[in-house]
Amino acid sequence: MAATTAKAGERNDSKEPTSAPALAATKRSQAVDAGRLYFDRAADRMDLSDNMRSLLLMPKREVSVQIAVELDNGEIGTYVGYRVQHDDARGPMKGGLRYHPEVDLDEVRALAALMTWKTAVVNIPYGGAKGGIAIDPAKHSPREVERITRKFIDGIHDLIGPDIDIPAPDMGTNSDVMAWIMNQYQKYHGFNPACVTGKPVELYGVPGREEATGRGVGILAVKLLSRLGRKPAQTRVALQGFGNVGSHAAKFLREADFKLVAISDASGGYYNPDGLNVNQMLSYAREHHWSLVGYNGADQISNEELLELDVELLVPAALGGQISAANAARIKAPIIIEAANSPTWPEADEILSKRGTVILPDILANAGGVTVSYFEWAQNRQHYQWGLNRVRQELDRVLAESFEGVWQLAQERKVSLRTAAYMLGIGRVGRATILGGIT
């Protein structure tokens, strides 16, 4: 086996020798600032004391662990894995695991807090957490990703568990990764499939988990449109991202009669003003490892152009920070549904809000995933298999109630949907914290 020096370093995907790291670092610190700013806006409306703000904002625990593995070529790869457990006042902490070269502690911290408010907005009995490893899974073989995952669990197995902190998929991870987590956890603590969600349906997963976030986006889009007095058939949609969330959102939006005119993924944007053939694009992506590269059923546009299209609804479902001060003034869509986490920076949020753009915030818009993760956890604990119909019905109910709660609060307090969602979430976490007692 070779020494872990220069060559192993080459495989350390966190070291990109371009200006990308600097840009990424700026983005991450903006994500932290954005979370804090949205929190403060809501906390101001709630007259929350400084002491309570500090208590609610400070993560309960943060860990970084070394992950050293043997790569397929015999070299040693060394990576760092993070888990931030933000708050457990309302229940075990819950949050995804992201594999992406730009993952770092700041980003994970921001996303962990987001999870606390998200689980509270949809009123499921969880707190918030998030984890990640700074790797590009596309640059590793499945066996390497498995070894990295198992080594990560070796490092954090005693900090997670069904009553403590339950990981789930996020960008760059999938049901295979969740199955490895379940298996590795079992080696230390015995059989307990509720230790992780997003598992394969054949291995204690729940039907409907994979589609849940995108389906939720579809359900919420219909509810929002109805409140705004608009009809799906007269609503042109631009959708950024065609991965797990984006592809399922496209399917459900199409089924609900929305007119999707533009869809993009990392390869660029695809545009047809008369409406895209969504089913054809789904089939194409499925046959091409979930990439639209080479799809020729529409005109090609850039991702930047997609965001600025003249449409009624824009759905960012890929990366954070896509709507910023740099492009906000050019964004024409009067409605934005944040399927991705943190796609809108606060300066952009302010520019758009002043213009009357209605933004359904991430902590509600993409909460379908964690909601169905909760059903999976409940199913595992009951040792009783839930069917797809039951999952869908319960998801519809939870999202409908959550949407109504946020909408009503926004009307009553004359605040944006984002501030209302944060107020609802912070209020629930704050009350649970007080009721539980601080001794």
State yes or no: residue 266 binds ligand NAD (CB under 6 A): yes
Helices 368-382 and 209-227, packing angle to 10 deg: 130
Interacting positions 204-233 with ligand NAD (CB under 6 A): 213
Give whichever of 136 and 154 is closer to ligand NAD, judged by the CB atom.
136
Which residues, 102 to 141, sit near ligand NAD by CB under 6 A? Answer: none
Please report whether residue 245 would count as binding ligand NAD according to CB under 6 A.
yes
Residue carrying structure tokens 């707190």: 127
Which position among 13, 88, 107, 170 is part of the footprint of ligand NAD (CB under 6 A)?
Answer: 170
Farthest-apart Cα atoms in the chain, separation: 65
Distances (CA, A) of 320 to 26, 29, 317, 332, 417: 12, 12, 9, 19, 19
Nearer to ligand NAD, 225 or 318 (CB): 318
85 DSSP 8-state letter = E
Rounded Cα distance between 226 and 90, Å, is 32
Given a contact cutoff of 8 angstroms between Cβ atoms, the answer to whether 317 and 217 are in contact is yes
Q: Which stretch binds ligand NAD (CB under 6 A): 137-145, 259-267, 374-382, 383-391?
A: 259-267
Q: Is 130 a catalytic residue?
A: yes
d(CA 105, CA 178): 21
Cα separation, 206 vs 124, in Å, equals: 17
Q: Which of 91, 128, 193, 241 binds ligand NAD (CB under 6 A)?
A: 241
CB of 297 to ligand NAD, least distance (A): 17
Smallest separation (angstroms) from ligand NAD to the CB of 439: 34
d(CA 217, CA 144): 33
Q: Cβ–Cβ contacts within 10 Å for residue 294, how many?
A: 8
Q: Which residue is nearest to ligand NAD (CB)?
A: 243
Q: CB under 6 A: which stretch of 102-110, 179-187, 189-197, 244-252 binds ligand NAD? A: 244-252
Residue 293 in the binding site for ligand NAD (CB under 6 A):
no
Q: What are phi and psi of 302, to 5 degrees?
A: -85, 165
166 is a site residue for ligand NAD (CB under 6 A): no
| Phi/psi-derived region of residue 331, left when phi > 0, alpha when psi is between -120 and 50, beta in every other case | beta
Which are the contacts of 157, defined by CB distance < 8 A and separation ≥ 6?
184, 185, 188, 189
* 85, 116, 149, 264: which one binds ligand NAD (CB under 6 A): 264
Question: Looking at 94, 130, 199, 259, which residue is catalytic?
Answer: 130
> What is the smallest separation between the CB atom of 270 and ligand NAD, expressed in angstroms?
11
Rule CB under 6 A: is residue 349 a binding residue for ligand NAD?
A: no
Q: Which stretch binds ligand NAD (CB under 6 A): 1-9, 69-77, 169-177, 412-420?
A: 169-177
The three-class DSSP label of residue 396 is helix
* Among 39, 204, 242, 270, interactor with ligand NAD by CB under 6 A: 242
**Residue 122 C-beta: closest distance to ligand NAD, Å:** 12
User: Measured from the CB atom, is 186 or 267 closer to ligand NAD?
Assistant: 267
Per-residue b or e along 225-237, where b marks 16 or more CB atoms closer than 10 Å to that residue's CB: beeeeeebeebbb
Residues in Cβ contact with 354 at an 8 Å cutoff, skipping those fewer than 6 apart: none
Least distance between ligand NAD and beta carbon 388 (Å): 17
Interface with ligand NAD includes 341 (CB under 6 A)? yes
Residue linked to tokens 């002491």: 51
Residues with Cβ within 8 Å of 386's Cβ and at least 6 positions away in sequence, in order, are: 206, 207, 375, 378, 379
For residue 95, the minimal CB distance to ligand NAD (Å) is 10
For strand 299-301 and strand 259-265, is the pairing parallel, antiparallel, or unpaired? unpaired
243 binds ligand NAD (CB under 6 A): yes
Cβ proximity to ligand NAD, 317 vs 323, nearer residue: 317
**Interaction site with ligand NAD (CB under 6 A):** 169-172, 213, 240-246, 264-266, 303, 317-319, 339-341, 366, 369
What residues are annotated to the active site? 130
